[in-house]
Amino acid sequence: MSINVKIAGVAVTLLALSGCNTSSKDDTTVSEPKVRKSLLVMIDGARYEAVLNASTPNMDQLEIQQAYTGGISGSLSQSGTSTVEGESTLWTGSWHTIQKSGENGFQTVWQHLKEDEPELMIGLYPNWPIFDYISFDLDSITKKSAFRTGTDRDAEHQNSRVIADKIASGEYDSLFTTIDMVDYSGHCNYGNSGGAWSDEYVTTIEEADQVFGYMLDAVKAREADYNEEWLIMVAPDHGFNRQKDNGSVDCAHGSQDIDAKKSGLLLTKVSN
């Protein structure tokens, strides 16, 4: 099954937030329905097999399904495997060739949520400044900004703690953020000449799992102390180009290589 089908399912689940936080006056159940909230974390440039090979105790608490990005190769849906294209797909549940990052008026799941229930508090806080490269109309999302901390790994830990604090505040119904250090490692930063095919890259995925853990712990605390049920989703925007025939790496993505297109979608079980 392709990633747009799976992400579309996630988008539908996100949209269900707007209809699951109220109960009918005829509801005879004693207990109050749980307040449903969501957290979507994009781990930039995480290769599927590398995630499987890494020690990730936090992400292991979610269910993983293999998926694909970048459209269907050789078809009208084919698109590149860049962050703009992959992240736009996560935000819409549609291939980039269809939604064009909002240039054609295509809406994100965030816009649909706000249209259906304007009082929902949504926060979009990526690291990399995706807002500079997309055209979606996000005027209704007042809580949005990019951290812009680049390749600073220590800063990403702090960014995640900021999101954890936002979760703990109880203010937000839906949050989005990114962890970018994995992509930077795949691009042969941090002295990692082996790119996405090195032990250093796997180690960076393990550090990203620690970064994700701050947010996961905050969600668990909210669920334990308050009447909340969180949908947690973790997904990459793309993988990385495969190794060359001579064993070297090009430290890049963007191609239609299977390793650049293959990804994994991790999410919590959704209650009926």
Does the residue 29 lie in any domain? Answer: no
Does the residue 77 lie in any domain? Answer: yes
Q: CA-to-CA distance for 95 and 70, rounded, in angstroms?
A: 7
Does the residue 28 lie in any domain? Answer: no
* Mean pLDDT confidence for 199-227: 98
> Above 70 in pLDDT, residue 90?
yes
| pLDDT for the residue numbered 3 | 44
> Above 90 in pLDDT, residue 188?
yes
The DSSP-derived string for 173-236 is SEEEEEE-HHHHHHTT-TT-TTGGGSHHHHHHHHHHHHHHHHHHHHHHHHHHHSSEEEEEEEE-
Does the residue 235 lie in any domain? Answer: yes
User: How many domains is the chain built from?
Assistant: 1
Does the residue 26 lie in any domain? Answer: no
* Mean pLDDT confidence for 180-196: 94
The answer to whether the beta carbons of residues 33 and 20 sit under 8 Å apart is yes
* Other beta carbons within 10 Å of 115: 11
Residue with tokens 């980039």: 96
Does the residue 40 lie in any domain? Answer: yes
Q: CA-to-CA distance for 132 and 40, rounded, in angstroms?
A: 20
pTM above 0.85, yes or no: yes
User: What percentage of the chain has pLDDT greater than the value 70?
Assistant: 88
CB crowding 216-227: b at 16 or more within 10 Å, else e: bebbeebeeeee
Q: CA-to-CA distance for 39 and 177, rounded, in angstroms?
A: 8
| pLDDT for the residue numbered 184 | 97
The CA–CA distances, whole Å, from 207 to 57, 69, 192, 193, 237 equal 11, 24, 15, 18, 18
Q: Which residue has the higher pLDDT, 6 or 120?
A: 120
* Mean pLDDT confidence for 49-65: 95
Q: Which CATH number fits the domain that encloses residue 211? A: 3.40.720.10
Does the residue 55 lie in any domain? Answer: yes
The answer to whether the beta carbons of residues 172 and 121 sit under 8 Å apart is yes
Domain extent, residue 197, equals 3-16+34-267
Q: CA-to-CA distance for 230 and 244, rounded, in angstroms?
A: 42
Does the residue 272 lie in any domain? Answer: no
Structure tokens belonging to residue 21 = 């936080």
| pLDDT for the residue numbered 19 | 45
- Strands 63-68, 262-267: pairing is antiparallel
Q: CA-to-CA distance for 8 and 155, rounded, in angstroms?
A: 32
Q: How confident is the model at residue 258 (pLDDT cuts 50, 70, 90)?
A: confident
| pLDDT for the residue numbered 227 | 94
The answer to whether the beta carbons of residues 238 and 261 sit under 8 Å apart is yes
